[in-house]
Every structure is written in structure tokens, then in C-alpha cells.
């Protein structure tokens, strides 16, 4: 006899485990299927984000940043450290412990909320049934009134650079280098490539980034993208745009990369090569042909604005559906779907989903870029303010970058914001809240901000939208 649930969630990442917990909180009999095995062969929840993505990469970014500061930036404070060294094994151990603490915490929360967990894989069948297969290969059928698919994504592999055991790696392998590569190549100048490249560059690698696009960070506001390229280059990152990789050859523990740019064919030799060209939805073996769930032309599960698939009672969230591949977007979709299954009204505001690149300086954005607003033909105003004019940033020695706010010229309503600089992710969240409540730039300008804080740059940028910034010269008003 099959086991029956109100909700079965397939996938235990930041979308899936949140959906399962919220469903259980709402009184629904809930199960969650997860197949991820850690290094010890134990099933762990948290998905890519907690295990090999957001969390471990931020742990390495934090360690490498502290190392770089201690080695190169303490002397200006009058602090002498002597010879600074890095213990890579200790760094990796710290990273692994953070992952263990968080994934263990998720398992505890699932249990505390009464979620039944299944360790293995799930396949969605017709009639809202799920074929569950445990790690030993035994199968059983689960039934559900509602199924939530939250299987996430996996890295893209590219034919010119097939992965090897330790020389050509994806983002997961780049978290496990046991020594600092003397020369490191990175294919892809996106979020993952820049973050992982930054980690190993700070620790001593000569880093070359090969990006096929002619524009750097082409989806980011271009004022911030240009500033970022300038700053990363100054830090020592060799960024080559319009460089399309055509082949690789691994020999004697090194890899020779062949690529094409505007000047023709070129070759570079690296000790390690990270392939970071994006991610794709993970649906292998997930759907039976008659389950009614349809994929779009890019392989994503087709859903509406509330994450309903084409099959009644089946929902899909996170990286496996349209929209940015962000853990927090997946989590909010998980809450929305659980609420809707329970009969409540809930919605995700996709116009106010922030994104962050955790380089140094950080780059964070929400809403529309100036390029997008201009392309739409909207009349708009822009306010910018540099961290170089912020007292707290000066005191911290962290003055690179700026805050940029875009507002509708007629209504003054905030359309988007980009921050590049100290605590950009945290400052951008202020703009997320403002946009969620429909704030105008004037609203932000009229608020009282603590002094001295780096958030004063948000205040001044909002004032600058309407030519009222205090601590910089305002732009000339538009001629009427």
C-alpha cells in the first residue's frame, strides 16, 4: 500500500526544505525527498546552496579576504603582523564545519516540524504519484494531493573543456583545491567565476578569466560593471573579454587552453581550470512521459506566476523554473506555494528580487538597470553617490564604488538600484524594502539615517535623484 501525503516535495535545497517546513507549519502532512550525499556518504539537506554553493564559497571568500587584508592592508592602521601565511587545510576544514552545522540544522528543523524525510530520488508519475528509490535501489510509491518539484540546477559543462578529476573542475571542485594554484584559469566572468577567481587570487594565484561575451557583467548596470572591471583589474585579475574557449589539453598536471578572440587563436597554460559558464535546470529522470508536466524550450519546467505547472496539483519552484537562479528566490517561491496549497493568498514580487555578487567590493542590485529603463522608453532620473565621500567608509578604508538609484521622472517611484561597494548586499536590501512598499526617492531622502554609516550613501543617492544631495555637487536640472 502506498504512503499518502498532503504534500510531497522533491528536493531538499533552499526552495524544497523551506516549502516542506512551511507546508508542515500550515498543518499539511508533508514529506521531502532528498538524494544529496556528503563526503561521508550521509544524506544531507540544503542542496547546492548549503553544500557546494552559496555557503562554502562565502566561507572561502571571507577567509581569503581576511588573509589579503592581514598581508597587505593592516600597515596603514599601524598594525604589524610579520610574515602572514595561509593554512589551506585549516581553511577547508572551517568551510566544511560551517556546511555541516547548517545542513544539520536543516535536518533538525524538518524533524521538529514533523516533515517525513526520504533519502533517495523521486520520479513524478501520472496521477500525482511519486516513485521513490532509496540509495540501495529499493522503490516504493508515494501519493500526494500536491507535489512540489524543487530539484534545482547543475553546472553547465562545455565540450571544449571536459572535466577531469583535479585539473579541469567545475564550481564544486574549485572549493576543494588543497593548495593554491600558481596559475589559475577561469572560463566565465559571471558570479561564480568572479567569486571563485577572487578566492584563489587573494591567496596568491595568478588568475586569468576568459569570457566569451564582449561586455563585462552584461546583465548588471553598466556603470557598476565598468567600475567593477576597473577595480578587479587593479586587484590583479586578468579579465579577457570576447575570448571563446575552443579546446583544452591536459598534460603532466597542467592544462593548455586554446581560445579565440578578436586577434585570432591563442593558448594559455594553467595549473587549474575552473569552468563556470552557468547552470542548467536539473530534471534528469524526474518526470514520467505521462505526468503532464511540460518543459519550455530551454529545459525549464513551465509554470505560471504562482509556480503551478501544466499538471493539476503539481508545482515547481527555484532553479528548475524561469527567473534568476537565486536561493532566496527559491525559498520565497517555496513559501508562496505552501501558502497557496493551504488556501491562503500569497505572491512573490518578482520586480523586487535582489541579487549579490560577493566579490570585494560586493555588487548588489534590485529592480531595473538604467539600460533596461532606457530601452523601455521610460522617462527617469538617476541619483548616484560615491562611498569615497562617506565618512564611515573612509574610516574603514573601504571607499571604492557607489550607490545608484533610478526613479520614474513623473512619479519619483523607485524603479531599481545598484550598489557596488562595502556591504552592498546589506545596503541593497534597504532598497528592496523601499520598492516593496512603493517608496519614492523622496521618501528615502526624507528618512533619518544614522551617522556615520555606509548606508548614508543610500540616503544621499536618493536625494541626488531630485538634485538635493548635500555632500556632493548635484547635476544640472534637465532643460524643460
The residues, ordered by sequence, that sit 6+ positions from 8 with a Cβ below 8 Å of its Cβ are 30, 31, 32, 33, 122, 130, 142, 144, 146, 147, 148
Domain end marker among 315, 348, 381: 348
Cis before 452? omega within 30: yes
Residues 177 and 82 in one domain: no
Domain end marker among 277, 300, 331: 277
Residues 48 and 148 in one domain: yes
Q: What is the pTM of this model?
A: 0.96
C-alpha span between 322 and 298 (Å, rounded): 9
Residues 369 and 324 in one domain: no
Residues 356 and 287 in one domain: no
Report the pLDDT value the prediction gives residue 477, as an integer from 0 to 100: 67
The residues, ordered by sequence, that sit 6+ positions from 12 with a Cβ below 8 Å of its Cβ are 20, 32, 33, 34, 36, 45, 46, 47, 106, 110, 117, 150
Residue 325 lies in a domain: yes
Distances in whole angstroms, Cα of residue 280 to Cα of each of 34, 180, 321, 323: 19, 29, 10, 12
Residues 177 and 202 in one domain: yes
C-alpha span between 259 and 244 (Å, rounded): 5
Rg (CA), the chain: 24
C-alpha span between 366 and 326 (Å, rounded): 13
Report the pLDDT value the prediction gives residue 223, as an integer from 0 to 100: 98
Q: Name residues of the chain where pLDDT drops below 70.
A: 1, 477-480
Residues 266 and 288 in one domain: no
C-alpha span between 32 and 82 (Å, rounded): 51
Distances in whole angstroms, Cα of residue 176 to Cα of each of 89, 141, 167, 238, 253: 10, 37, 12, 23, 16
Structural domain that includes position 250: 168-277
CATH number, position 239: 3.50.50.60
Residues 108 and 177 in one domain: no
Count: domains in the chain: 3
Residues 23 and 68 in one domain: yes
CATH number, position 400: 3.30.390.30
CB 436 within 8 A of CB 382: no
CB 330 within 8 A of CB 318: yes
Residues 183 and 82 in one domain: no
Residue 322 lies in a domain: yes
Q: What is the pLDDT of residues 92-136, one digit of tens each?
A: 999 999 999 999 999 999 999 999 999 999 999 999 999 999 999
Q: Give the catalytic positions in this structure.
A: 451
Residues 31 and 57 in one domain: yes
Residues 179 and 271 in one domain: yes
Report the pLDDT value the prediction gives residue 69, as an integer from 0 to 100: 96
Amino acid at each position: 500500500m502506498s504512503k499518502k501525503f498532503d504534500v510531497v516535495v522533491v528536493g531538499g535545497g533552499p526552495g524544497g526544505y523551506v516549502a516542506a517546513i512551511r507546508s508542515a507549519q500550515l498543518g499539511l502532512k508533508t514529506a521531502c525527498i532528498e538524494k544529496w550525499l556528503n563526503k561521508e556518504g550521509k544524506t544531507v539537506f540544503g542542496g547546492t546552496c548549503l553544500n557546494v554553493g552559496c555557503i562554502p564559497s562565502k566561507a572561502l571568500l571571507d577567509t581569503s579576504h581576511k588573509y589579503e587584508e592581514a598581508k597587505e592592508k593592516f600597515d596603514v592602521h599601524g598594525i604589524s603582523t610579520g610574515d602572514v601565511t595561509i593554512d589551506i587545510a585549516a581553511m577547508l576544514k572551517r568551510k566544511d564545519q560551517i556546511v555541516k552545522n547548517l545542513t544539520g540544522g536543516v535536518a533538525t528543523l524538518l524533524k521538529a516540524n514533523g516533515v517525513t524525510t526520504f533519502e533517495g530520488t523521486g520520479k513524478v508519475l501520472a496521477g500525482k504519484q511519486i516513485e521513490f528509490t532509496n540509495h540501495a535501489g529499493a522503490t516504493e510509491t508515494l501519493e500526494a494531493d500536491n507535489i512540489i518539484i524543487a530539484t534545482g540546477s547543475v553546472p553547465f559543462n562545455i565540450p571544449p573543456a571536459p572535466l577531469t578529476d583535479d585539473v579541469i573542475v567545475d564550481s564544486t571542485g574549485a572549493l576543494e583545491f588543497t593548495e593554491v594554484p600558481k596559475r589559475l584559469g577561469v572560463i566565465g566572468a559571471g558570479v561564480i567565476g568572479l567569486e571563485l577567481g577572487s578566492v584563489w587570487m587573494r591567496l596568491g594565484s595568478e588568475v586569468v578569466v576568459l569570457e566569451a561575451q564582449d561586455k563585462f557583467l552584461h546583465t548588471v548596470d553598466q556603470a557598476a560593471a565598468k567600475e567593477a572591471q576597473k577595480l578587479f583589474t587593479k586587484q590583479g585579475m586578468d579579465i579577457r573579454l570576447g575570448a571563446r574557449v575552443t579546446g583544452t589539453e591536459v598534460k603532466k598536471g597542467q592544462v593548455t587552453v586554446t581560445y579565440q578572440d578578436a586577434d585570432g587563436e591563442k593558448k594559455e597554460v594553467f595549473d587549474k581550470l575552473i569552468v563556470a559558464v552557468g547552470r542548467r535546470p536539473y530534471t534528469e529522470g524526474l518526470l514520467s512521459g505521462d505526468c503532464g508536466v511540460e518543459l519550455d524550450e530551454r529545459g525549464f519546467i513551465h509554470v505560471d506566476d504562482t509556480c503551478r505547472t501544466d499538471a493539476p496539483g503539481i508545482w515547481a519552484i527555484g532553479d528548475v523554473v524561469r527567473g534568476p537562479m537565486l536561493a532566496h528566490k527559491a525559498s520565497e517561491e517555496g513559501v508562496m506555494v505552501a501558502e497557496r496549497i493551504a488556501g491562503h493568498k500569497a505572491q512573490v514580487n518578482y520586480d523586487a528580487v535582489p541579487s549579490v555578487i560577493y566579490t570585494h567590493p560586493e555588487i548588489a542590485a534590485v529592480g531595473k538597470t538604467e539600460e533596461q529603463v532606457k530601452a523601455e522608453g521610460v522617462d527617469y532620473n538617476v541619483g548616484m553617490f560615491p562611498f569615497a565621500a562617506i565618512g564611515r567608509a573612509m574610516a574603514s578604508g573601504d571607499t571604492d564604488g557607489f550607490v545608484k538609484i533610478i526613479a520614474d521622472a513623473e512619479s519619483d517611484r523607485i524603479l531599481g538600484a545598484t550598489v557596488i561597494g562595502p556591504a552592498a548586499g546589506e545596503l541593497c536590501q534597504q532598497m528592496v524594502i523601499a520598492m516593496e512598499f512603493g517608496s519614492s526617492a523622496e521618501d528615502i531622502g526624507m528618512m533619518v539615517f544614522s551617522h556615520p554609516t555606509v548606508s548614508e550613501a543610500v540616503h544621499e543617492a536618493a536625494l541626488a535623484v531630485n538634485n538635493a544631495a548635500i555632500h556632493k555637487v548635484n547635476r544640472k536640472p534637465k532643460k524643460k
